[in-house]
Every structure is written in structure tokens, then in C-alpha cells.
Amino acid sequence: MYSLVQDQASARERFRARMLMGSADIVSPVLLVIGIGIFLWLAANPAQLEALLRFAFPGRSSYLYERASLLALLGEHLVLVAVSATAAAVFGISLGILVTRPAGRDFLGIVRDLSSLAQTFPPVAVLALAVPALGFGFQPAVVALFVYSILPVINNTISGLVAVPPDIVEVSRGMGMTRVQILFRTELPVAARVIIAGVRTSVVINIGTATIGAVVGAGGLGAVIISGLVRDNYALVFTGAVSAAVLAFTADWCFARLERRFYSARSDRS
Amino acid sequence: MIEFEHVVKDYNGITAVDDISLELSAGKICVFIGPSGCGKTTSLRLINRMIEPSSGTIRLDGTPVSKIKAEQLRRGIGYVIQSVGLLPHMSVRENIGIVPRLLGWDRNKRAKRADELLELIGLAPAAYRDKLPHELSGGEAQRVGVARALAADPPVLLMDEPFGAVDPLGREALQREFLSLNRELKKTVVFVTHDLDEAIRLGDRIVLMRDGKIVQDDIPERILGTPHNEFVREFIGADRALKRLSCFTVESCMHQAAVLEQALLEDGKPPADLEVNGTGTLWIVDAGAVPVGMCRRSDGKWGDVRDVRAEELGVKTLSSLRDALSRLLGRGLKAVPVLSDGNRLVGEVRLTDIEAVNQSDGYV
């Protein structure tokens, strides 16, 4: 079952690599910084942004979201993502470690199944369930995003730790490492790349999904998109969607760089 | 010194180690050997408490190992396994420094020790210290594995088929190196293998096991020469005779050779009336008694003289009979010349001599 999940994961990886991640190899830091620079400049200069949008979508009554600046929305979005993704990463990695310890092995299957189940809930449904409990605003959005972002982290943490060759663990024990030392000096460093790949997927999904938070008044870039949809104003939808995309791309690029600093089992075999 | 006292290990009703008592003397290489499942690896792992015994005591220099904290015990015992198990994300230097780091050595001391050990195992520190394990060949990785086990200078080394994954040529080189290394370091080594040749080459003592029990515990010559029972005989195998030939020198059973000086040949042939005994082989030598040719007599006639090169064909007086046999068979001869220093002919070894030695021990 593991190998199946891993195969699916790696197929997804490869697909993603072709569609997007290849860009991590192509896009140089210079280009990325220039792109982000242009984006931030436009976000900070509404007059120029409006001119650009007027050119792209002629004949609209308005081009800008009036209730908050794009920069402020970007900030809200980032906070939403940072809180929920960090919580998901910490929780997911911890749980992944726990169920791969001898004492927690019994729970490995059920944790995997539950986290997969969590992923099948539409985030809107989670929001709808969270609102009666937590009210409108930031909190239900964070909870929904948290639930939704855990799966890739748990899956990759488990896959990464299970794939650590047993002889390496054995020899670490034989050299006199304690269990904690084996975890931190042997298992986690060997699994780090796979785990970080999980966090990377989780964050990218999270950034996209966070736009839905606007439905319950959590703010963020979703506010622009929803406002545009309600008013049938594609300039606004475009602004919000492109902003979220830039954010997701940047985060993905950063994680791709981070991943490469860690040991990879693939380079080991070549 | 390592002592086993009535040590038993049960796994859910299966007895892996069945009441073993042993004393392994310090500074010697003791090889545990036997078919798979005989308990040799279990016995090894009992020493550093990777496995706990069901009953019995194991003592290290008089102290029961169960009285020492497992991690602390293991840090004081070198451990090498077949797959080496170098940590893939660490450089060679970091790998060698693992146990020193656990013992709290500072970075400089660890780096210095790693370089020292790389030097000792014959890998240039400057070229190897920063390499990652996947950049090493199998033999190099094994050497680093041994260096890592030696890092904190433990008095005892446990080696579980450490050279098993290396190709035969590389394995022999590793065995030779390890043997000379340990002659210097004088570690107490417990070595597990299923390769009898390796056991004979390395062991000061061989403990042959079966079904968790010791079948024979002896020096290599006696294991081969006087096997205790049918099982030992079978285990040391159909080629036990061949292995045993390694224990005899050519000198101990060579014959006088029939010799003719080159100058005495008549028309390139030995005199027709010259008779020789034995295998009918006549060695033609030059003035310095170095063989330069040979000639066979059959049906009362001499064949053609064949040129020979002494150093290619001959064996030395201290060569083993196994070497001699190999040359005899390789050249299709009935006898090979035995040479002293300077390639002077001092005798010959015949196929029949080897057969005689082989039959002398009564178990053919």
C-alpha cells in the first residue's frame, strides 16, 4: 500500500515537475526577483495598476478593489497561510514521527486513512462546519486550511521515514545512539527532502485554497476575487487570481531551493 | 576478554543460541562461522546488547554487559555490518566522527582523528574526507566502515560479514589489509562469516556453530585436519582436502629431481640410454642449476625437449601444496620443479606426492 501511495505521489511529483516545477530549474533568482518586484510595485501603485487593467479589460466601471489595498490583502493572505501551514507542518510532521515509532506503529494505517479522508472534504464544507463553532472571520478559515493542508505533510513524513534504510538505523543504534539521537541525526536528515517536499505541496495548496477564506470574512486575496465574481468584474478576479498565483509560485520556488540542500536518495543511487 | 557463560536466546520458542559458553582472548581474531540460522550473528549481537539474552551472562573484561548502559557499552565497541551502513547524508569525515561526537569530542579532535584513520586504511585524507558515501566504491565504503568502527579506539570490534558485499578480488585485498592492520592494533575481534576461506585466512580461532550450538571450537588447522564429526566434515566441504593442502609446504614432501645439464644434450635430446625413475620427467638445467627445459620419457624413448621458464613453472620451497597442485593441473604436468632462491632447482613435487598427503589423514 505504501508503494502504491508513493507511486501516486511520485507520479504527481513528476506531473507537477513538468507543469510547474521544471520552472524551479529554469527561472533564475534574478528573473524571480524582477517579477516579484514588478508585482509589488503595481500593488503599491494603484494608479499604474488601474492603467494596466484598463488596457487589458477595457470598458469596465471600476478596476480596483475599494475596501482595502492590494498590499494589505496580500499581507492578510500571508498571515492566513503562515498560521495554518505552520500548524499543519508541525502537527503533520509530529504525527508522522509518532506513528513510525515502535510504540505508534499500530496507528500508522488509521492516521494515513484519516488524513486522506480530510483531503476529500471540500474546503468550503469544512468552512461551513467551522463557522457555527468558531464564528465568522479568521479562525474558521485557519481551521479549514489546517485540516486541508495536513495530508501531504503526514503522507510525506511517513513515506520519508519508512523509506530510511533499516541497516542505517541498525548501525546508528550499534554505534551507541539513543532513540532521540537516531531520530534527529539519522532518520530525519535522511528523510528531510521528502518531508520538505510534503510541506511544499501543502503550502502551495494552502495558498490557493486560502482565497476561499474570504467567504467567511477572513479577508485575503479571495476578497478581491469574490467581489469580482459578484460584480461580474473580471479585472478584479484577474487581479486576485494573479496575486495568489504569484504568491504560490514564489513559495514553491523557495521550497524547491530549500529541498535541494538536503540529502536525496535518488542521487545516492545514480 | 569476552566471556559467554551458558548464554541462551529464545525467539518465540525457537532457540537461536542454545547454552553457549566461550572465552575469547584479548587481541585475537575469533571467527563465528556456520550455515545461515546457526546463531552466529545472534551471538555477535548479544555482545553489544543489540539483542538481550534469555538467560546466561556475557562479560566484557569481567563486567557483565547487562550492568553497563546499552548506549555507553556500544560506544565502546566497534561495530561493522555487511551493508556498511554509512549515513548517506554525512561526509566520510562526519561518518568517522559519529562515535567520537557521541563521546563529546570537539570538532578539531574529530577531524584530526578522521584524517589519521583515513591514512591508516590507505585512503588519502585530502581526497576522501569530504566525499559522500555514494561517491565511494564498495571497497572504499567498507574501509571507511572499518575506520568508523575504529574511530574512538575501542578495544573490541564486532564485524558481521563485513566484506560479504564486496567482489571476491576486493574481498581478498580487504582481508589482507585488515589482517595486517589488526596485527598492529591488536583489537579483540569477533568476526561473523559464512565463507570458510575467509575464516581460515583471518581467524586465530574458528567457532563453528549449528542450530545455536558450538560444534567445534579450534584453530583453523585442526578444524580442517581433525573435524569432530560428520557435520564439520560436510561443512568444510568437498574441497576440504584442497583447503587442507594450504597447511603443508612443498618442502615437506618434495622428491629429488632427475637433472641433466644443458651441455650434455646430444642433438638437442637426452642420451637415449639415460633412464629416470618417478614420473619420467627430466629437467634440463643451465650451468647455474636453473631449469631451462624439460623432457618426458615414455615407451623407452625421449620426447622433444620443451623450453620452460623457471619462475613461471616452479614453486618455492615454502609455497603451499595447494599452489603446487594448481600449477600441476594448470600445465597438465606430472611434476613441477621446486626452486630455492635464485631459481636453483632443488627438487620436484609430483602429483602422486600430493595424493599421498591427501590420503595420509584417512578421510578422503
B267-290 tens-digit pLDDT: 888 888 887 877 888 899 988 889
Closest-CA residue of B relative to A186 is B87
- Give contacts of B148 with chain A, Cβ < 8 Å: 175
In this prediction the ipTM stands at 0.75
Burial class (CB in 10 A: 0-12, 13-18, 19+), B241: buried
Higher pLDDT, A54 or B221: A54
Task: Determine the pLDDT at residue A12.
Answer: 53
Q: How would residue B357 be classed by pLDDT, with cut points 50, 70 and 90?
A: confident
pLDDT, residue A23, reads: 43
Pairwise pLDDT comparison (B56 vs A118), residue with the higher score = B56
Task: Give the residue from A172, A175, A261 with the most B CB atoms within 10 Å of its CB, the best one to mutate.
Answer: A175
Residue B201: band (very low, low, confident or very high) from pLDDT cuts 50, 70, 90: confident
Q: How many CB atoms lie within 10 A of CB B119?
A: 12
Is the pLDDT confidence value at A1 over 60?
Answer: no
Q: Tell me the domains of chain A and their CATH numbers.
A: 2-269 (1.10.3720.10)
Residue B165 contacts A where some CB pair is shorter than 8 Å: no
Cβ proximity of B87 and B98 under 8 Å: yes
What tens digit of pLDDT does each residue of B113-161 get?
A: 999 999 999 899 999 999 999 999 988 999 999 999 999 999 999 999 9
How is domain B250-360 classified at the CATH fold level? CBS-domain (3.10.580)
Say which range, A23-37, B125-139, B182-196, has the weakest mean pLDDT.
A23-37
User: Where in chain B do CATH 3.10.580.10 domains reside?
Assistant: 250-360
Residues 6+ away with beta carbon under 8 Å from A72: none
User: Which tens digits make up the pLDDT trace of B38-62?
Assistant: 999 999 999 999 999 999 999 999 9
> Which grid coordinates are listed for A167?
541497516
Average pLDDT in the A75-89 region?
94
On the question of pLDDT at B232 being above 60, the answer is yes
Indicate the CATH number of B2-245 among 3.40.50.880, 3.40.50.300, 1.10.1040.10, 3.40.50.800.
3.40.50.300
Contacts 24+ apart (CB under 8 A), B22-25: B22/B207, B22/B214, B22/B217, B24/B188, B24/B190, B24/B205, B25/B1, B25/B188
Residue A203 has pLDDT above 60, yes or no: yes
Q: Return mean pLDDT, chain B.
A: 88
**Closest CB from B50, B134, B148 relative to A173:** B50
Segment 245-274 of chain B within 8 Å of chain A by CB? none
* CA distance to partner chain A, nearest, from residue B331 (Å): 44
Inform me whether the pLDDT recorded for A13 exceeds 60. no
- List the single residue in A with minimal CA-CA distance to B149: A175
State the pairing for strand pair B345-350/B188-193. Answer: unpaired
Q: Flag if B81 and A174 touch (Cβ within 8 Å).
A: yes
What pLDDT was estimated at residue A66? 79
Contact A174 B102 (CB under 8 A): no
Find where cell 550450538 sits. Answer: B213
- Asked if B151 contacts B96 with a C-beta cutoff of 8 angstroms, the reply is yes
Query: Which residue spans of chain B are classified as CATH 3.40.50.300?
Result: 2-245
**B102 and chain A in contact, CB less than 8 A:** yes
- Report pLDDT digits (tens) over B66-98: 999 999 999 999 999 988 889 999 999 999 999
Q: Please state the φ and ψ torsions of residue B114, each to the nearest 5 degrees.
A: -60, -45
pLDDT for B291-331, tens place per residue?
Answer: 998 888 888 788 888 888 888 888 888 777 888 888 888 88
- Would an 8 Å CB–CB cutoff place B69 in contact with chain A? no
Closest chain B residue to A270, measured at CA = B134
The number of C-beta contacts closer than 8 angstroms across A and B is: 66
> Measured between CB atoms, does B81 come within 8 Å of chain A?
yes
Q: What pLDDT sits at residue A45?
A: 86
pLDDT score for B241: 73
**Distance from the B204 Cα atom to the nearest Cα atom in chain A, whole angstroms:** 25
Task: Determine what percent of chain B is predicted with pLDDT higher than 90.
Answer: 46
Nearest CA in chain B to A179: B71
Please give the residue that has the higher pLDDT: either B339 or B276. B339
Please report the pLDDT score of residue B247 as a whole number: 65
- Which DSSP string do the residues of B78-93 spell out, in sequence order? EEEETT----TTS-HH
pLDDT in tens, A233-267: 888 899 999 999 999 999 999 999 898 888 887 65
Residue of B52, B68, B87, B95 best to disrupt the A interface, most CBs of A under 10 A: B87
| Closest C-alpha to B239, from B156, B162, B325 | B325
The pLDDT of residue A57 is 83
Tell me if chain A has a CB within 8 Å of the CB of B85.
Answer: yes
Please, which pLDDT band fits residue A148 given cuts at 50, 70 and 90?
A: confident
- Does B13 lie at the interface with A, CB-CB under 8 angstroms? no
pLDDT of residue B360: 65
In sequence order, the β-bridge partners of residue B337 are B348
| Binary contact (B88, A177; C-beta < 8 A) | no
Q: Reply yes or no on whether the pLDDT at A81 is more than 80.
A: yes
**Confidence bin at A97 (pLDDT 50/70/90):** very high
Residue B200 pLDDT exceeds 60 = yes
